[in-house]
Structure 1
Amino acid sequence: MTRLESENKRYPCYVCKQPLTIPHPHYSKLCPSCGDLNEKKRIGRHDLHQYTSLVTGGRTKIGYFTALRLLRDGARVIITTRFPYDALQQYIQEHDYETWKDRIHIFGLDFRYIDQVEQFAYLLDQSFSHIDIIINNAAQTVRMPEEEYHTLLLNESNLKTQLFSPALLQLSSGEKQEFTSTPHISEKFMPLQLINQEVEVPKKHLADYNSWIAKSQDISLMEMLEVQLINVTAPFLLNSRLKNSMLRSPNRNRFIINVTSVEGKFNVKRKGKNHVHTNMSKASLNMMTLTMAKEYKKHQIFISSVDPGWVSSLFPEKLQGQNSVQLPLDFHDAAARICDPIYEGKDIERPTTGVYFKDYKQVDW
């Protein structure tokens, strides 16, 4: 048996799990059939010019590429992030920024301060004619190290000076009477005041340890609560408080996508022993999908949980080498998966709802 044959026998196709005899030319971990489907979905484009969407956590990784995909499909996109100026700087650098710059709205919002999330939802309801799509992407899996957090805060202050102009940035402190829909930025909208409310931030970042490999007794109360607020409570508030805004949509169908992961599944052969708090939050998010969908479908609002696929590694820095693998997908693939229920359902009479999607297919919970 050759080395290639041995490796293929050990590692089946990431999607269909069949022996990977011949890999796809662009997806080395996928068979030709699954790779062709993924490539088709990845490069596909759809007309969303009449849609307004909300993407949480749109500064980096999956959220960034999802927002970018929607913008390039023609949608108006509302983005939330703790670091709005950093996000704006990245979007400005995109080669086609000029073509969609009038359709992007970036809001500074920290989901750990849950009362502001509810107020933010009311602000959106009053300030936009309607919302058609909510993508609950923002999530805390591994808490950001203190050094990185404060570096980003300092960078925000510097970027504010550079980007303070009639740009496309909108910042909200969450107070209804202070909301503005103009592109001009007011000092009272700055979210950086929240730094004074920080508690129990880790003293240092351990390169060989983070909560991804943590046992239950090692997870701090603060991190446990933050994960539930960010991963579950904030999506619940946005889904429920923006319902009226979605009902005002002139489009045939509206969509809520709860971005989930295999960690929240019950029907798995092997369940790991680590990061129980993250597993709990994703399982709870899935139950929200299943329960809310029954009511919302009466109003042409269709809710799905979508697993974006394996696109990043969360092991601590020093353990990355020990657990090094070639990831089967990238952030473009993740964005395509997240948007697929919207594409497939926007023009049909009865879109699928209350289900879990993985690799473009409905799977068990």
Structure 2
Amino acid sequence: MNDPPTDSSESDGATPNGTNGGQPKADSVVGDQVTVAELLAAIKTLESVADDRSPLLQLDKGQIAQLLKAAGRVAHPGRAARRQLIRAQRSARKVATEELRAQDETQLQRTGIRRQTQSNRSLAGAPPRPSAEILPPPAVSASDKSIAILQVPRNCYICKRDFHRVHFFYDSLCEDCAEFNWQKRNQLADLREKTVLLTGGRVKIGFEAALKLLRCGANLVITTRFPRDAADRFAAQADSEQWSNRLSIYGLDLRHSQSVEAFARHLCTQLPRLDFILNNACQTVRRPIGFYEHLMERERQSTHALPLLQREFLAGYDNFVDSHTTTASGRLPARATGELNGGRGNQEATVSSLATQLAGMVRAAELSQVALADEDRQHGYEVFPTGQYDSDSQQVDLRQRNSWRLKLADISTVELLEVQLVNAIAPFLLNARLKPLMMRTPSPEKHIVNVSAMEGVFYRAFKRDTHPHTNMAKAALNMMTRTSAVDYVKDGIYMNSVDTGWITDEDPIEITRRKEQELGFRTPLDAIDAAARICDPYFHGLNTGEHTWGKFLKDYQVSNW
């Protein structure tokens, strides 16, 4: 139900035009000098004169002409005067609406998605806190999960309808969409004995998806360029000991295709089965090497220096690295020489020092420090300040411009190729090389989800002219789904592309903060919502027996390509 407010206690008797039910106060000022009381008196006087013109005899001819002329100008204003009045009316309505929205903002701050953002904001590089289930406030009944009624309607992010009633958790969804998304957000499935591969599982969507899968009982393999940092984040979870024996973390740089193929071969020899591939990792905005520098000290630590739980997560990966780093030419150097970013404390790894077919695995973190583009050499502490982290415990990026705002002629060849390698080529290789492993067991309930985005959709009325390289990569990923899903389904493997929903503002931080302050902008969903979306084809299929394939899914529904 999306009914407008009718209870005076909710709306304080105000109407959207801010006139208290259409009756202005007598002492309010209109313009710079005239009051409402004076205008009302003028109306009464003119109506009296219209009924009986004899009072005009008290005036001389000049005064009578002046009165009639003024009345005529009020009754029939010129074009400029009409425009001035219209502008004043619009301005007054805008001010009144903004006042009501400011009151609504107080109510929206009570929603779970807002309170969660406020409470989880981290000022240090600590791992995220465990995700606690947010329950409705005690005063909310099971039949009505709204916590407030807005005075100015909002537009639902999903169905696009206007709504007044605010769900206890979502601030940008109507009641129907909010309740459906809340149920999906908390959806579970029995994944015991299932094995899942998840790429990009260290932060944000991938991290939340990993926790969902682990808490459902899955045996999970995740990849990340920074495996030790990932191990620390998972170890910090309050329930980590309940699933620690089912989590394996591998270092893998998806830009290095030879390593991706080697990783697939390794899994085929190590895993008895594979039920679900979740191609989550992607590169949207390229970060210079300084963005990752604070992670390197931890990544370069010896395995023996790590706590026992982290060593357990990394056991398979460290065994792989140990067996492949000692060659005829000796061990790969831990560091190469040459200063990074013009005299910073870290050292730059050169391409030649990492020239190996397995560099993307055995030196996954080190590859993040190879200067490939001009921006890698230009940005230092002034844009990546030491010790400043965002709500995901990632380095704050103070650059005034990033690739989200770049157009075709501005994008470097390095970034173009990296985006294609991570977003399209790596999923292609994993889906192709791991198919024999997925077919090893006869179960017909296997899934592949290629995590996509609306940027890769063709059937949109409006398409921005920025970041064409990411649009290309997601469109290519979608085409793989459309082309190969019909082939894989013959072997009981259901392949789909899934949009995560809007959880991140990719604009530079200065623009993002300005939008928050001036427009009250917030993304409508969070990382847990996105994780629920990309896991849903598998969860829904297992729970209902209805397996979708060959589709592009947005907000849990089939959408246009």
User: TM-score, structure 2 length as denominator?
Assistant: 0.60
Match of 2:317 among 158, 171, 180: 171
> Which letter maps to 1:46?
A
Match of 1:343 among 504, 526, 539: 539
Return 5+ residue gaps in structure 2 as ranges: 1-14, 17-96, 105-149, 326-331, 335-360, 384-397
2:87 corresponds in structure 1 to: none
CA contact (8 A) 1:109 1:173 kept: no
Stretch deviating more after TM superposition (318-327 or 291-300): 318-327
Q: Distance in 1 between matches of 2:204 and 2:366?
A: 26
- Per-residue CA deviations over 1:82-113 (Å, capped at 9, x if unaligned) read 00000000000001000000000000010111
Change (3 A) 1:299 1:172: farther
CA contact (8 A) 2:499 2:554 kept: yes
Q: Distance in 2 between matches of 1:73 and 1:132?
A: 14
Are 1:362 and 2:551 counterparts? no
Q: Distance in 2 between matches of 1:258 and 1:283?
A: 11
Question: CA shift at 1:198, angstroms?
Answer: 4.1
Q: Distance in 2 between matches of 1:267 and 1:10?
A: 28
DSSP-derived class of the 1:123 partner: helix
Question: CA shift at 1:249, angstroms?
Answer: 2.9
Match of 2:247 among 95, 99, 104: 104
Stretch deviating more after TM superposition (67-76 or 20-29): 20-29
- Per-residue CA deviations over 1:271-293 (Å, capped at 9, x if unaligned) read 11100000000111111111110
Q: Distance in 2 between matches of 1:174 and 1:271?
A: 44
Question: CA shift at 1:197, angstroms?
Answer: 5.0
Question: CA shift at 1:307, angstroms?
Answer: 0.7
Q: Distance in 1 between matches of 2:431 and 2:235?
A: 29
Change (3 A) 1:299 1:347: farther
- Trace 1:228-267 onto structure 2 (pairs within 5 A): 228-267=420-459
CA contact (8 A) 1:307 1:358 kept: yes
Change (3 A) 1:8 1:129: farther
1:271 corresponds in structure 2 to: 463
1:299 corresponds in structure 2 to: 491
Question: CA shift at 1:243, angstroms?
Answer: 0.2
> Which letter maps to 1:86?
D
CA contact (8 A) 1:173 1:191 kept: no
CA contact (8 A) 1:8 1:19 kept: no
Question: CA shift at 1:346, angstroms?
Answer: 2.5
Question: CA shift at 1:215, angstroms?
Answer: 1.0
Match of 1:32 among 175, 178, 190: 175
Q: Distance in 2 between matches of 1:201 and 1:160?
A: 33
Match of 1:334 among 524, 530, 533: 530
DSSP-derived class of the 1:191 partner: coil
Question: CA shift at 1:9, angstroms?
Answer: 6.7
CA contact (8 A) 1:123 1:176 kept: no
- Trace 1:1-365 onto structure 2 (pairs within 5 A): 1-2=15-16, 3=97, 11-158=154-301, 160=303, 162-163=305-306, 166-169=311-314, 170-171=316-317, 178=324, 189-194=362-367, 197-200=370-373, 202=375, 203-204=378-379, 205=383, 207-324=399-516, 325-346=521-542, 351-365=547-561
DSSP-derived class of the 1:68 partner: helix
Q: Distance in 1 between matches of 2:369 and 2:548?
A: 45
RMSD of aligned Cα (Å): 2.6
CA contact (8 A) 1:85 1:160 kept: no
CA contact (8 A) 1:263 1:278 kept: yes
Stretch deviating more after TM superposition (226-235 or 143-152): 143-152
Q: Distance in 2 between matches of 1:240 and 1:173?
A: 25
Question: CA shift at 1:192, angstroms?
Answer: 4.3
CA contact (8 A) 2:167 2:173 kept: yes
Return 5+ residue gaps in structure 1 as ranges: 180-185
In percent, how many aligned pairs have the same letter? 40
> Which letter maps to 1:191?
A
Stretch deviating more after TM superposition (113-122 or 10-19): 10-19
Question: CA shift at 1:333, angstroms?
Answer: 0.7
Q: Distance in 2 between matches of 1:148 and 1:360?
A: 34
